[in-house]
A and B are shown apart, each in its own frame.
Chain A
Amino acid sequence: MNKDQILSVKNLSKNFGGLRAIDNLSFSVKKGEIFSIIGPNGAGKSTLFNLITGFIAPTEGEIIFEGEDIAGLKPYQVARKKVGRTFQLTTLFFQNTVLENLIIGQQVTREAGYLQSMFGWKKRKEHYQQAIKRAQELAEFVGLSNYCNTAAALLPHGAQKQLSIGMVLAGDPDLILLDEPVGGMSMDEIDVVINLIKNIRKTNITVCLIEHKMSVVMNISDRILALNYGVKMAEDIPEVVCRNEQVIKSYLGDKYVVAS
């Protein structure tokens, strides 16, 4: 396996009964890049994320992360290998405050035992304060330091998406999978999240994202994977993918393909 690849998927397939949601798919993500996955509705993008993060088990194929096959692991085991993810429908602990959400996100690196929590004294306090401090740093990083004590349910939609990204970052991941990070946002909010993603890349975290907004995808991606009905159409830099005949056909229809 190539050393600069962080994730490589080989001959991955998933059947839901008679439906082949992912069909013999192979691709790889390089360390430190922003990798986008595009495709029309039902192309299998979210299914692919669920396969990588262990929420569903693949029918066949390999998912190699940092030289290790993670296919078939449970979601929490994948997360502990430092693969973070967000969900398409923004999921947060809505009753908890922003800070609490960011503390819970640190469980991967800061798992506290029951005995320490019930009987511990100095270490228990130390751990808690470290967690609070880290949560405050994260709140600042994702631009929510003014909302620290607001319940997540009361945040505006854009801020909720920012928080969900912050929670993933709390686990110190090496690779994060963002499912539609700017879905349903206003233009101003989109700019904030784009900047955030660019800042995340600067901290040496590889970003893999699903997005429908082409302006965003073409603007920030290093490389793009285009899917249709679970089959790979293209995997290349944005300039090449957006001129790919199959991609144009599946998005716009036959008559928009310009004969070359």
Chain B
Amino acid sequence: MERVIDTMYKKSKYKKLIVCSILLIIAIVAPFAFTSEYNRHIMVMCGVWIIAALGLNLILGYVGQLNLAHGTFFGVGAYATALLMQKAGIPFWWALPLGCLATAALGFVTGIPTLRTRGHYFPIATMCLGIAVYYAIARWDDFTGGACGLYGIPRPGSISLPLAKTIDFESTVACYYLVLLIAVLTIILMLRLVKSLTGQRIMAVRGNEDLAQSLGINTMKDKIVCFTLSTVFAGLAGGIFASYVGAIMPENAHFLVSFEMLLYVMIGGVGTIAGPVIGAILIPVLSEILHFMGSLRLVIFGFILILTIQFLPFGIIGGIRVALLRYPGLTGRSVGSE
């Protein structure tokens, strides 16, 4: 019995490892295939969205709480990092973790009251928070630059390697590799968290909160920790965004950003790790391809979302999993092993 599970587990793990390595190699060589600045810029942005979407996926997909302020936390991380760099003169490598810390502090403080609510009230409460923070940023002219935003945020400072080489981040390619590294680390951390006893526990909170409590799980603690953790990743993505683009506006903290991230997670596959990654690559790229249509492309995204929810409730990844279960020959795995 034990051996059957073990070999099954190892076999699928082995295959997944190969697929992941191939994808990683593709990601590493991608900037040489797409040499135009425009394409490279989109690739950096995809990396930023992957980090943010994985954060949202933790609280939405694994703990089951729909956070509509995730875009706001992205904006808070961006502003915190930018302000620390511009007003306090702190270098990027210190400002980024401090910005994440500031975002986490806001997430922790707002999470305690809002996570006490159940059902629809949590999304409503977080959306209110998002709107409030947006107006605070947009109106606080002296501190945040108000509606004009902040300009001239420096790129990450260059780092010197032991072999007398320095890496500066003035080029888009260098920024791409930085974002790629952080995104890969985020994916690994999320995978490890989800595939652990803690991961089982937080999924229990999603499955049935009362039952989880009766089994000795402090559901409130897990919800607050995961919510705070998810805001850290939003802040991380925001900080990188601010430094990379060099300018931020209140619109980057608008609650509509949350809906964009929600789109990535929902279409890719909520409650999976690969899903948000796929969504955060596919949707921005599609959005750029359809740019000639103007705002009409938003209507198309609306249709895509409706079709996804109707036919693929767990997104692209969910659809692939169902297909693999229906045609087990594709992987050699037996039904029920999932």
Contact = CB atoms under 8 A, between A and B. Distances in A.
Chain A partners chain B:
yes
Interface centre among A107, A119, A170 (most CB of B within 10 A): A107
A100 B189 contact: no
Interface stretch (A26-34, A88-96, A186-194): A88-96
B216 interface: yes
A79 B211 contact: no
Contacts of A116: 196, 198
Interface string A86-115: 010001111110011001110110111110
A91 B193 CA distance: 25
Given A103-B200, A131-B197, A136 B214 contact: no
B203 interface: yes
A127 interface: yes
B97 interface: no
Given A114-B229, A148-B5, A127 B207 contact: no
A243 B195 CA distance: 56
Interface residues of B, number: 30
B267 to A, nearest CB: 21
B1 A93 contact: no
A229 interface: no
Nearest to B189: A118
A150 interface: yes
Contacts of A79: 213-217
A251 interface: no
B285 interface: no
Contacts of B214: 53, 55, 75-76, 79, 84-85, 87
A80 interface: yes
Contacts of A113: 198
Given A114-B198, A145-B1, A80 B207 contact: no
Contacts of B197: 103, 107, 110, 112, 117, 127-128, 131
Contacts of A92: 208, 211
A193 to B, nearest CB: 19
Contacts of A112: 196-198, 201
A124 interface: yes
Contact of B216 (A80, A114, A119, A145): A80
Contacts of B42: none
A149 B203 CA distance: 17
Q: Tell me which of A76, A99, A131 has the highest count of chain B C-beta atoms within 10 A of its own C-beta.
A: A76
A80 B221 CA distance: 15
A94 B218 CA distance: 20
B196 A124 contact: yes
A260 B40 CA distance: 95
Contacts of B337: 149
Given A114-B193, A149-B337, A150-B336, A104 B215 contact: yes
B84 interface: no
Interface string B183-209: 000000100110011111101100110
A79 B208 CA distance: 16
A167 interface: yes
A74 interface: yes
A65 B309 CA distance: 48
Q: Ordered nearest first, which 6 A-B pairs have the shortest CB separation?
A: A79-B216, A108-B216, A117-B196, A112-B197, A117-B198, A75-B213
15 contacts: A92-B208, A93-B211, A95-B207, A104-B204, A107-B201, A112-B201, A114-B193, A117-B196, A117-B197, A118-B192, A128-B196, A136-B2, A148-B5, A150-B336, A170-B215
Given A80-B216, A91-B208, 14 more contacts: A76-B215, A79-B214, A84-B215, A93-B204, A100-B200, A103-B197, A104-B201, A114-B225, A117-B197, A118-B196, A124-B192, A124-B196, A148-B1, A171-B216
Interface of A: 53, 55, 74-76, 79-80, 84-85, 87, 91-96, 99-100, 103-105, 107-108, 110-114, 116-119, 124, 127-128, 131, 136, 145, 148-151, 167-168, 170-171
